Chain A
Amino acid sequence: MVESVRTAPGRLRRMPARVRTIVSFTLILMVLAVLWESYKWLGQTTGGVWPGTDIGLPVRTNNRAMPHLWDIVAALFRPARRGGDEVLLITLLRAGLFTLRSAFTGFVFGSAFGFFLAIWFTRSSLAERGLMPYVVASQTVPLIAIAPMVVIWGGQAGLPTWLSVAVISSYLSFFPVAINALRGLRSPPATATELMKSYAATPNEVLTKLQMPAALPFLFPALKIAATASVIGAIIGELPAGLSVGLGRALLSFASSFSSAPEKLFGAVFVAALLGLSFVGLVALAERRLIPATRRVSHDPEIAALAAGGTG
């Protein structure tokens, strides 16, 4: 027994990296599930206090606050509405797709805008000094406060609500792309720029042949962050938009019906997480196809910059 426990990590280590990630990941998810259920069991048996004390547990463990995991899964496959024949999972996925449309549109426009800003900043230091502080400050503005106004503006301009939500979503996604693209476009060493100058290359040639290819590895980590950000932005945008569909709507209505059907809210949370993950997964897949392993930089924009700074 002891022997097998000792070799387990060794065996784990000998697996190919991707298999190892999946295995350790599954293990962790299982551990989390066990923790959830045993915490719930502990609370139920002690009446909501730490054993042997009268200190209360931080989270209530009744079936309302913490439904059994199997109850949540079962709820996903029961009709969403009494008497309806569409199961909750389908309803939620439909809502998710609606949100994804806004998120994806916001992602595309936001990233394009961020990239455009970055190119502009590399060409004009005046533009950078004038606008960069506001690019940073833009992210401190509470999105949910401007969301209703954006929806009203969109309505006045004749835009469908989902498109206004996309605009709100792009407000979050443009930022990481702008910051990282700027770093990426600036990543070639000074000598590479001098080389291009010695060939009498035009600014557009410098951009397409030197700066953009150099920026690609920086761009993908930013796009992954932008993907999550655009989903967050779309959900936040939907909250005050008064839509009758979408994940934001589902979260709001299931939050208000929480006391009668808590599993539905957890189901919506689950689908929202799934949405974010699959979007990021798609971007990661694109990265894997487009960028050779030797050029990939790590996930985070700041780290990407620091890592590249070291190799320049």
Chain B
Amino acid sequence: MTTNRLRRAFPAIVVFAGGILFWETIVRVFDIKGFLLPAPSAIISAFPAEWAELRPAAVGTFTSALAGLTLGTTLAIVAAVGAVRWPMAREGAMPLAITANSTPIIVLAPVANAWFGLLSPWSTIVVIAVLVFFPVMINLVRGLMSTDAAELELMASYAATRRTTLWKLQLPGALPYMFSALKVAAALSLIGAIVKEYFGGSQSRLGQYITLKAGNFQFEEVWTAIVLAALFGIGLYVLITLVEKKFMSWHVSVRAAQI
């Protein structure tokens, strides 16, 4: 099993190692200036000196991202369950949510600064929550509605209450939709946090750090922040995938991935 998995992951590992090596080589061979593209080795060696500044900035950004993700997802779950329970609400809410989801919601970032205060953590958290809310809600409503008529009839034949039907049938059926929405939302929360921070706020945040260093053409330092943010994003994605595997071992997508 493990050797098999290793064999499957092998091309990706080769691409990673090859990519880094290629990057390092072209920077050295063509003597590319640091402000154009710093070498991987230069980025790594920038870490120790930057760590004292970088660590609190990253912690602040990641905390906001997680808080916004949690708030937005929670609200989306409540809204989705409500929308499924009351069809009238759904008929109005779904087109609105789909419309809102077609707009660049991130432009609310400067508005949030005005509403909640530049330094308030809420201005970041709320923007991320709004950003995350729509895709999660839309997917979840569709997931909850995906139960087919025969399954609902089965529950009705057991004289199941609405709540039992929700917990035993609709929510488990919506899990695949939920997890795929969460993966999208996780990436959104991080992008949202950093863009929001670009519009101002606490100095000790990745968005501000990047703005400052990019302004000084210190791109090795910018890259340390990029690497850190990407690692966090990938970590979040992997975490969600692991939880998904645990909860949905029955689902085709997970079974197929295991073969």
Asked if residues A143 and B191 are in contact (CB atoms below 8 Å), the reply is: yes
- B68 contacts partner chain A, Cβ-Cβ < 8 Å: no
- B207 contacts partner chain A, Cβ-Cβ < 8 Å: yes
Asked if residues A231 and B12 are in contact (CB atoms below 8 Å), the reply is: no
Partner of B226, one of A130, A141, A232: A141
Asked if residues A24 and B91 are in contact (CB atoms below 8 Å), the reply is: yes
Stretch from B72-80, B96-104, B162-170 at the A interface: B96-104
Which residues of chain A are near B226, meaning CB under 8 Å? 141-142, 145-146
The 8 A CB mask of B184-210 against A (1 = contact, 0 = none) is: 001100110011001110000011001
Q: Which of B105-131 contact A (CB under 8 A)?
A: 106-108, 110-111, 113-116, 122
Stretch from B39-47, B49-57, B149-157, B173-181 at the A interface: B173-181
Chain B interface residue count, CB cutoff 8 Å, equals 68
- B230 contacts partner chain A, Cβ-Cβ < 8 Å: yes
Q: How far is the CA of A137 from the CA of B104 in the complex (A)?
A: 22
The 8 A CB mask of B222-244 against A (1 = contact, 0 = none) is: 10011001101110110000000
Asked if residues A148 and B108 are in contact (CB atoms below 8 Å), the reply is: no
Which residues of chain A are near B35, meaning CB under 8 Å? 152
Which residues of chain A are near B122, meaning CB under 8 Å? 58
Q: How far is the CA of A202 from the CA of B237 in the complex (A)?
A: 38
Q: How far is the CA of A126 from the CA of B176 in the complex (A)?
A: 27
- B84 contacts partner chain A, Cβ-Cβ < 8 Å: no
Asked if residues B36 and A306 are in contact (CB atoms below 8 Å), the reply is: no
Asked if residues B234 and A137 are in contact (CB atoms below 8 Å), the reply is: yes
Q: How far is the CA of A299 from the CA of B222 in the complex (A)?
A: 36
Partner of B15, one of A59, A131, A236: A131
Asked if residues B214 and A145 are in contact (CB atoms below 8 Å), the reply is: yes
Asked if residues A228 and B102 are in contact (CB atoms below 8 Å), the reply is: yes
Asked if residues A130 and B14 are in contact (CB atoms below 8 Å), the reply is: yes
Asked if residues A28 and B177 are in contact (CB atoms below 8 Å), the reply is: no
B73: shortest Cβ distance to chain A, in Å? 16
B52: shortest Cβ distance to chain A, in Å? 20
- A300 contacts partner chain B, Cβ-Cβ < 8 Å: yes
Asked if residues B229 and A142 are in contact (CB atoms below 8 Å), the reply is: yes
Asked if residues B219 and A133 are in contact (CB atoms below 8 Å), the reply is: no
A26: shortest Cβ distance to chain B, in Å? 10
Task: Tell me what chain A mostly uses at the interface: helix, strand, loop, or mixed.
Answer: helix
Q: How far is the CA of A302 from the CA of B138 in the complex (A)?
A: 11
Q: How far is the CA of A59 from the CA of B236 in the complex (A)?
A: 31
- A239 contacts partner chain B, Cβ-Cβ < 8 Å: yes
The 8 A CB mask of A13-47 against B (1 = contact, 0 = none) is: 00000001100110110000000000000000000
Which residues of chain B are near A142, meaning CB under 8 Å? 190-191, 194-195, 206, 210, 225-226, 229-230
Q: Which of A113-167 contact B (CB under 8 A)?
A: 126, 129-134, 136-137, 139-146, 148-149, 152-153, 156
Known: A24-B92, A25-B92. A269 touches B101 (CB 8 A): no
Asked if residues B103 and A303 are in contact (CB atoms below 8 Å), the reply is: no
A263: shortest Cβ distance to chain B, in Å? 12
Residue of B nearest to A280 (CB): B102
Partner of B103, one of A141, A228, A247: A228
Asked if residues B194 and A144 are in contact (CB atoms below 8 Å), the reply is: yes
Asked if residues B139 and A145 are in contact (CB atoms below 8 Å), the reply is: no
Q: How far is the CA of A265 from the CA of B107 in the complex (A)?
A: 10
Stretch from A82-90, A190-198, A204-212, A270-278 at the B interface: A270-278
Asked if residues B36 and A265 are in contact (CB atoms below 8 Å), the reply is: no
Asked if residues A255 and B113 are in contact (CB atoms below 8 Å), the reply is: yes
Asked if residues B187 and A140 are in contact (CB atoms below 8 Å), the reply is: yes
Asked if residues A129 and B237 are in contact (CB atoms below 8 Å), the reply is: no
The 8 A CB mask of A292-303 against B (1 = contact, 0 = none) is: 000000111011
Known: A236-B106, A273-B103. A140 touches B230 (CB 8 A): yes
Q: How far is the CA of A9 from the CA of B180 in the complex (A)?
A: 34
- A251 contacts partner chain B, Cβ-Cβ < 8 Å: yes
Which residues of chain A are near B8, meaning CB under 8 Å? 129
Q: Which of A213-267 contact B (CB under 8 A)?
A: 224, 227-228, 231-232, 235-236, 239-240, 247, 251-252, 254-255, 258, 262, 265-266
Asked if residues B138 and A299 are in contact (CB atoms below 8 Å), the reply is: yes
- B159 contacts partner chain A, Cβ-Cβ < 8 Å: no
- A65 contacts partner chain B, Cβ-Cβ < 8 Å: yes
Known: A25-B95, A141-B230, A228-B101. A255 touches B110 (CB 8 A): yes
Known: A130-B15, A149-B37. A59 touches B104 (CB 8 A): no
Which residues of chain B are near A58, meaning CB under 8 Å? 116, 122
Partner of B12, one of A129, A148, A240, A273: A129
Asked if residues B191 and A149 are in contact (CB atoms below 8 Å), the reply is: no
Q: How far is the CA of A143 from the CA of B210 in the complex (A)?
A: 11
Chain A to chain B contacts (Cβ below 8 Å), 10 pairs? A59-B116, A64-B114, A144-B210, A149-B36, A228-B104, A232-B106, A235-B107, A247-B107, A255-B113, A277-B103
The 9 closest A-B CB pairs, nearest first, are A140-B233, A130-B11, A255-B110, A302-B180, A273-B103, A280-B102, A276-B103, A24-B92, A142-B194
A interface residue numbers (CB < 8 A to B): 9, 12, 20-21, 24-25, 27-28, 58-60, 64-66, 126, 129-134, 136-137, 139-146, 148-149, 152-153, 156, 224, 227-228, 231-232, 235-236, 239-240, 247, 251-252, 254-255, 258, 262, 265-266, 268-269, 272-273, 275-277, 280, 298-300, 302-303, 306, 309
